[in-house]
Structure 1
């Protein structure tokens, strides 16, 4: 079998892989970070607008989370395929296609007149994001040849990944308060157009030719439908209970489809979407477990903290958005230090520090009550949580693609993003079910005036969700021990 080789459509293979000059490196980094900002912005910007979306389009309490999960589950399910497509058919043209599709889906979502249309538009956004996100990380990994520069680039990428979520909450508050919730989608249109221009100018074409230019569509379909079924089953457990057929049937179907996916990948796929052998790397395995648990922690924190501020503390969307600013700055600052920490003490110690801070911040948040103020009960833990997420995001990005050959850069980055989004989607579904069950129990106990009881029940449910999220972060902390103690030597991304 011939070995895949890099091919540039705009230059020779040698020139496509040769380090670019400094001005172009800066432009490439800017384009990739802006694209990743758009992808993460679109997760968090919706959270602040959820109450307005619910009243405008008639979502009920259990279906409202699909405004978030339609995006995250489709994102997670197709990320591996998105990374593989970019590797095979050219990162530049696939990057452009992803941004164009994302922009059109944002327009359709902003014009939605019913709940179903919005959910479909969000799912298409997730599909487009599944193409964009792995391409950004693959471009950085193959453009920045010097390990020091590459780590700095990954640090910036990690900072933007986390800060996009926090600033998304602020942008969502400003746009919802001053215009309407529809502008949380319309705002993506000018960003998308700017990105298209940036990709055309900064990104050179690069793909890997050779045998096996086939896509594992079976793998992508089974894992995506399986994840959707799992999330649906978890969501159904809230109103119907875990022993209901409405819960068990989708759960069992989802587990079966995920099992089929693993069987196809391990035994039958000629060009597997997720070669299971990639997990032989301790660095890749540890990074993906951290990414999954970290995604569950961060996504659920945005969701439940937003609901706590609006439903319990009566914050407006704008005030809720401003409440996320300390978190955003903590993520950005910590992410910039993360790359230096990896170079100095290695991925293991860096990931341990990041996940310890994440777990500590969530555990502190689990102590909130209906009387908790922002300064007294939320400021401290969100700063600690933000620092932990900034450190772990950048460190996991570095560890997750370290030592991966160029022809698998899209796969490795897609896998890392997939596990983060999968953790976010499944984590949110599980924690929403936990919170809903606790809220129903507290409401059933009664003993207080209706308005006071509702606030107490919401605070109790969201506090429990934060506590369970802290336990998930501890799983990531334990997984960090498997990461290499020293930065792994580049094996394929080094200068050729």
Structure 2
């Protein structure tokens, strides 16, 4: 049976669309989720972190599973898991159930996303057709992130927060029905080593989870408490064990030799810091717009829209400019824009105008994060062997997700601590929330400034068109 490659692309791109959509669609629903399920402020960030941690932590395992079991089979399994946990998230009646559903939903995304990309690269040969397909894939993914905040606001205001999860279910069902018709089954040659390195994936993800949980509990228990020190120390032990396993296994998820390439190490750090700044900004501003300024969920989503548009424009500009100015120059410019945007946002008050206090910062930040992402993705594979480029790209993508979750934990903990201390000193609740918002965004700004230092070590490259297309998709 002959299948149109463009019909295949439509199925794959729609699946990636909902994976990216779920990163942003939930943000504007957070205040309603907090009120309905009685989340504490420090635990609310797990609705975001639970998803991103397991997505990032198991992304490389998903790619390995696609190689060994066949990408279509893993794609279907990941989609089914993603749809089922979306349904369970919408039906959740307690914080624990929702966080658990979001975490497993992230695992579903970690299975389907690399499998979809593997199918795409086999379906389209090197050259113009693949560049176009990558552009469509990346464009729809970017559109998912941009429309997510608006769609989330519309669903929350017109139905309820539960529909930001339920909306995935009919899409997933339609995709699973369409896959046998439009996506061919790709058979890989038999591989000598069929190890999944499940131990590596579990140890690495559990280590980061323990560190994040320790940071989150610091506000309630204190940094020197036995609980916090225990989780932080346990996380470090698990991460050391992860490195030991990766060094010994014959087919590691993260080949440690890749980090001998300075460009990969630098790019991993840059994308981890970029993820930390992005998730922190999104979480804080979503709460600020609704709890301080009194926006509805839809109004908050519309207020985020210019940032998404700026990111799409930034992607188009970055793919053109990186040819001319090189990766280092573009990445430095991106970090400066990102830091400037966060600094402007950190000065917003409780009653100031949106156009003067929030819009400039959101636009600058939207431009800046893509200015970091595109050159960092290109630099990541610059010094690694061609046959390991896929593994290197997976590593930096995982760093982006995991860095985002860890950064969000640090920022929210410091923000909540500042708010709590301000209230204890007699500051009114709304003003205390504003001060906590300012503190959190200043910490996020520090991440961006640190990224400026990291960017100085980025190699100066002028890539070809295909490298740019693939980097834009990853960013």
Q: Same fold (TM over 0.5)?
A: yes
Q: Which shows bigger deviation, 181-190 or 90-99?
A: 90-99
Compute the displacement of 1:193 (Å).
2.9
Q: Which residue of 2 aligns with 1:36?
A: 16
Equivalent position of 1:265 in the other structure: 246
Give the CA deviation at 1:133.
2.7
1:266-294 Cα distance to aligned partner (Å, 9 max, x none): 2x212111001122334433332222111
Specify which of 470, 473, 480 is matched with residue 445 of structure 2. Answer: 470
Q: CA deviation at 1:55?
A: 2.1
1:385 aligns with one of 359, 365, 368 = 365
How does 1:342-357 map onto structure 2 within 5 Å? 342-357=322-337
C-alpha separation in 2, matches of 1:256 and 1:224 = 12
SS at match of 1:455: helix
Match of 2:151 among 150, 171, 186: 171
Alignment match, 1:412 = 392
Counterpart in the other structure of 1:7: none
Q: Assess, with a 3 A threshold, how the Cα gap between structure 1 residues 168 and 343 changes in structure 2: closer, same or farther.
A: same
How far 1:138 sits from its partner (Å)?
A: 4.2
- Partners of 2:157 and 2:346 in 1: CA distance: 29
Contact kept? 2:119, 2:186, Cα under 8 Å: no
Pairwise CA RMSD: 2.8
Deviations 1:413-472 (A, max 9, x none): 43222111101110110000110111112212215xxxxx21111111111111111221
Equivalent runs, 1:150-189 vs 2, <5 Å: 157-189=137-169
Structure 2 CA distance, aligned partners of 1:372 and 1:254? 42
2:40 matched residue in structure 1: 60
**Pairwise mapping of residues 50-129 of structure 1 onto structure 2 (< 5 A)?**
50-129=30-109
Counterpart-to-counterpart distance in 2, 1:209 and 1:401: 26
Corresponding position of 1:460: 435
The TM-score normalised by the length of structure 2 is: 0.90
Partner of 2:259: 279
- Find the counterpart in structure 2 of residue 15 from structure 1: none
Contact kept? 2:323, 2:463, Cα under 8 Å: no
Match of 1:435 among 415, 434, 458: 415
Gap runs ≥5 in structure 1: 1-9, 12-20, 448-452
Alpha-carbon spacing, 1:41–1:159, altered in 2? closer, same or farther (3 Å): same
- Could you tell me which of 288, 300, 315 is aligned with 2:280? 300
SS at 1:375's partner residue?
helix
- Alpha-carbon spacing, 1:344–1:135, altered in 2? closer, same or farther (3 Å): farther
Q: Deviations over 1:116-144 (max 9, x none)?
A: 22111111101111112333444555555
Correspondence for 1:216: 197
User: Aligned pair count?
Assistant: 467
How far did 1:302 drift? 1.0
Structure 1 stretch displaced more, 297-306 or 158-167:
158-167
Deviating more after overlay: 331-340 vs 256-265: 331-340
If the length of structure 1 is used for normalisation, what is the TM-score?
0.86
Q: Once the two structures are superposed, what CA deviation does each residue of 1:57-99 show, in whole Å capped at 9, x if it has no partner?
A: 2222222222112111111221121122122222222122111
Aligned mates of 1:358, 1:335 — CA distance in 2: 14
Q: Structure 1, residues 291-310: CA drift from partner, whole Å, max 9, x if none? A: 21111111111100011101
Does the aligned pair in 2 maintain the 1:288–1:419 contact within 8 Å?
Answer: yes
- The answer to whether the Cα contact below 8 Å between 1:176 and 1:317 also exists between their aligned partners in 2 is yes
Q: Which residue of 1 aligns with 2:351?
A: 371
Gaps of 5+ in 2: 471-475
Asked if structure 2 preserves the Cα contact closer than 8 Å seen for 1:284 and 1:400, the reply is yes
Q: 1:374, CA displacement in angstroms? A: 1.1
- Over 3 Å counting, the alpha-carbon distance change for 1:149 and 1:411 in structure 2 is same
Distance 1:416 1:208, change over 3 A: farther
Counterpart position of 2:216: 235
Counterpart Cα distance in 1 of 2:334 and 2:17 = 21
Task: Report the alpha carbon displacement of residue 235 of structure 1 after superposing the two structures with TM.
Answer: 0.5
Q: Partner of 1:340 in structure 2?
A: 320
CA distance in 1, matches of 2:65, 2:384: 17
The CA distance in 2 between the partners of 1:195 and 1:150, in whole Å, is 22
